[in-house]
Amino acid sequence: MSVTTDSGAARATVYGYPRQGQNRELKKAIEGYWKGRVTADALRATAAELRRANWRQLAEAGLHEVPTGDFSYYDHVLDTSVMVGAIPARHREAVAADPLAGYFAMARGSQDAAPLEMTKWFDTNYHYLVPELGPETVFAADSAKQVDELTEALSHGHAARPVLVGPVTYLLLSKPAPGVAADFDPLTLLNRLLPVYADVLADLRAAGASWVQLDEPALVKDRTPAELNAAARAYRELGGLADRPRLLVASYFDRLGEALPVLAKAPVEGLALDFTEAGAGNLEDLAAVGGLPGKRLVAGVVSGRNVWVNDLEASLTTLGTLLGLADRVDVAASCSLLHVPLDAAAERDIEPQIRRWLAFAEQKTAELVTLAKGLAHGTGAITAELSANRADLASRASSPITRDPAVRARAEAVTDADARRSQPYPERAAAQRAHLRLPLLPTTTIGSFPQTGELRAARADLRAGRIDTAGYEDRVRAEIQEVVSFQEKTGLDVLVHGEPERNDMVQYFAERLTGYLATQHGWVQSYGTRYVRPPILAGDISRPGPMTVRWTSYAQSLSDRPVKGMLTGPVTMLAWSFVRDDQPLGDTARQVALALRDEVADLEAAGTSVIQVDEPALRETLPLRAAGHPAYLEWATRAFRLTTAGVRPDTQIHTHMCYAEFGDIVQAIDDLDADVISLEAARSHMQVARELAAHGYPREAGPGVYDIHSPRVPDTEEVAALLRTGLKAIPAERLWVNPDCGLKTRGWPETRTSLEHLVAAARTVRAGL
């Protein structure tokens, strides 16, 4: 096969597009199918119509080649498992009987078979289903979905490029199947997997693909020499096939680093690299390897992760530099547009002036086309677009929304002392003991209580104007009353108000902070049919007034026991929002921290002695490469301390994280300097307690003793056994008793009994001390 590339002008392309449709038609169709209200054929027809609409829109916008295969009923990694025949044994029968129903059974579980595990797709908020592999795995090509979608696009008259998860990334994202040794390395299956990819490539070629894109984002992480060798071998082999389309190997989310020379040398026709800030270093690295002579370079210059208009002139400069480094340079978003909402123009509630700063998938596509035109024909061909872009960027840069002098002056004036508690931990601990007078092994919960249907209905009624604010708040107060009286009756030591007023732990605060934008239609897929509308950190952040004090104080007025104040921490506020791209993340975190610091102060002034600041996202925002960890952890832990350090020594600061693996951030957890941390631990039999102990963690900890991820009720003896296990690692003076996480997804009946058992277990173990 020759390595000539299509000659001609630069073109614009994307790797993938939001799947849901303008009005989340896909979600509705799939959920209807699950409930038996939509037939499989009707679901397929809706899906085909959505694909067709996307392609038409991309083509009309001026894209020369549309992506195919990026569509998914649930998840594209699960689709890849189907494509290579890696169906877990427990689902095989269901898949054979009814492929569509079997597919959803793998994603969601069935009566007799657990689903595949779900985990985050790199550092995004999209979740994929983890492939399960083992030495017995037999791969077999099933290219039907890829071929059908390509054929569909071609039949609509589009030039199309199938997009597949690459074989190396597929294996690197996999885990040993149940029953397979934990140290089994899926990468050892590469030799068996490559022939399957060869078959799929041949099928796609036969169906009319001239290019196929293989996504290898896993290669942007720190990789061992063995892994890099596997990548070299994979692309030597696939590149050497006689019967294949041209291959574009795509990377995104970070720089390719050591994998760049490997792929540059591989016998493939194109590489896609991230040239946004996330991929900083790629440009220099590419120059250092002498560019990509004879190859197609697809340059991701428009961020596929943020929601901001591109700086077109800056992108053109980058593209101009790249022109000298490859045979042909195409313009792309840095990654699939799956991670951004569909259309900023739909946001009628956002001021038009501010809306012009935003670029969602549709606007980003238009930017790509403009850039390609500018690159091909010179800036003279896009003068109108450039001047409009310049005006938008200037309006954003000079707006009082993005530049609030008071916020900036305050952030500037922050000193190290502001981020340090006034006394070291041992002295604080003594003061807190005297002040709170808690028993050994104090019991508490993580914050939320069941979000009942009535609560959600009350919020919907408020939005629809069926009830007024006063009526809604009566509902919330009634709920708080019930939650507090239940906790008192059950005998919990540190109470919570239950968070009934919160729709979402980030959105609730975003709606109460100046500088945050909310969207009406800004849905982004989180997993399957779950879509979220992340708020947008658009400007400088300030707090017009207290956000939670009223509810916490009300709860405290109902009880003599301490009620914990409950806030979402600055890192999580950033992680689950769209962030600014015009200042370092650490600066945004500091502004959020200062606003939260005032909330902490107001809570304390209102008589709150225990304040929890949740940071479940601390670990998930960790940069993909280890080289980026220290700088991230530095600003992240500092933002937490800035939020919390202003309190009196006898005010107890708690934090909470929702995962069991935190070995790589245990020092950072220590650096938060929180008085108490609660973590998930029930499923791992208190593993975190041992890890904290091994690290020498000096403060109090509550490894979860009640797994809240299912309705199952743990019995008292089971909880007591976990506590005794915890006591082997953490002394009784520093051990708390709590569930793994909040209870908002649970129902009341199981919550009641489980917490009764939790308190009973604490009493039993206490009595034996």
Indicate whether 446 belongs to the interface with ligand GLN (CB under 6 A): yes
Question: Residue count at the site for ligand GLN (CB under 6 A)?
Answer: 13
Indicate whether 565 belongs to the interface with ligand GLN (CB under 6 A): no
As a whole number of angstroms, the distance between CA 536 and CA 526 comes to 16
Indicate whether 566 belongs to the interface with ligand GLN (CB under 6 A): yes
Where do runs of H (alpha helix) occur along 173-248? 190-206, 225-239
Which range of residues in 76-84, 446-454, 507-515, 632-640 is near ligand GLN by CB under 6 A? 446-454
Residue 446 annotated as lining a ligand binding site:
yes
Residue type at 204 in one-letter notation: L
Indicate whether 741 belongs to the interface with Zn ion (CB under 5 A): yes
Q: Which of 374, 447, 528, 534 binds ligand GLN (CB under 6 A)?
A: 447
Q: Which of 658, 676, 701, 761 binds ligand GLN (CB under 6 A)?
A: 658
Q: Cα 334 vs. chain centroid, distance in angstroms? A: 17
Residue 421 binds what, of ligand GLN, Zn ion, none (CB under 5 to 8 Å, by partner type)?
none
CB neighbour class for 230 (10 Å; exposed up to 12, middle 13-18, buried from 19): buried
Output phi, psi for 473, to 5 deg. Answer: -65, -30
Which range of residues in 234-242, 664-672, 737-745, 761-769 is near ligand GLN by CB under 6 A? 737-745
Residue 680 annotated as lining a ligand binding site:
yes
Residue type at 727 in one-letter notation: L
As a whole number of angstroms, the distance between CA 445 and CA 738 comes to 5
Q: Where are the beta strands (DSSP E) in 242-316?
A: 246-250, 270-274, 292-302
Output phi, psi for 390, to 5 deg. Answer: -60, -40
Q: Where are the beta strands (DSSP E) in 510-664?
A: 514-517, 524-527, 530-532, 536-542, 564-568, 610-614, 652-657
Pick 150 or 618: Cβ nearer Zn ion: 618
| Nearest alpha-carbon partner for 108 in 73, 143, 69, 137 | 73
Extract the tokens encoding 541: 């952040």
Indicate whether 658 belongs to the interface with Zn ion (CB under 5 A): yes
Indicate whether 361 belongs to the interface with Zn ion (CB under 5 A): no
Pick 562 or 616: Cβ nearer Zn ion: 616
As a whole number of angstroms, the distance between CA 319 and CA 587 comes to 29
CA 499-757-685 angle, to 5 degrees, is 90
Residue 448 annotated as lining a ligand binding site:
yes
| Nearest alpha-carbon partner for 194 in 164, 165, 237 | 237
Tell me if residue 709 is catalytic: yes
> Closest residue to ligand GLN, Cβ-based?
742
Site string for Zn ion, 606-645 (x = CB under 5 A): ----------x-----------------------------
| Nearest alpha-carbon partner for 338 in 68, 74, 17, 69 | 17
- Min dist. Cβ of residue 530 to ligand GLN (A): 15
Instruction: List the catalytic residue out of 339, 654, 709, 757.
Output: 709
Residue 25 annotated as lining a ligand binding site:
yes
Indicate whether 50 belongs to the interface with Zn ion (CB under 5 A): no
Q: Which of 614, 691, 700, 707 binds ligand GLN (CB under 6 A)?
A: 614
The CA dihedral of 577, 585, 333, 199, to the nearest 10 degrees, is: -80
Which range of residues in 43-51, 357-365, 475-483, 738-746 is near Zn ion by CB under 5 A? 738-746
- Min dist. Cβ of residue 738 to ligand GLN (A): 10
**What residues are designated binding site for Zn(2+)?**
656, 658, 680, 741
**What residues are designated binding site for L-methionine?**
446-448, 499, 614
Annotated catalytic residues are: 709
Binding site for ligand GLN (CB under 6 A): 446-448, 499, 505, 566, 614, 616, 656, 658, 741-742, 744
**What residues are designated binding site for L-homocysteine?**
446-448, 499, 614
Binding site for Zn ion (CB under 5 A): 616, 658, 741
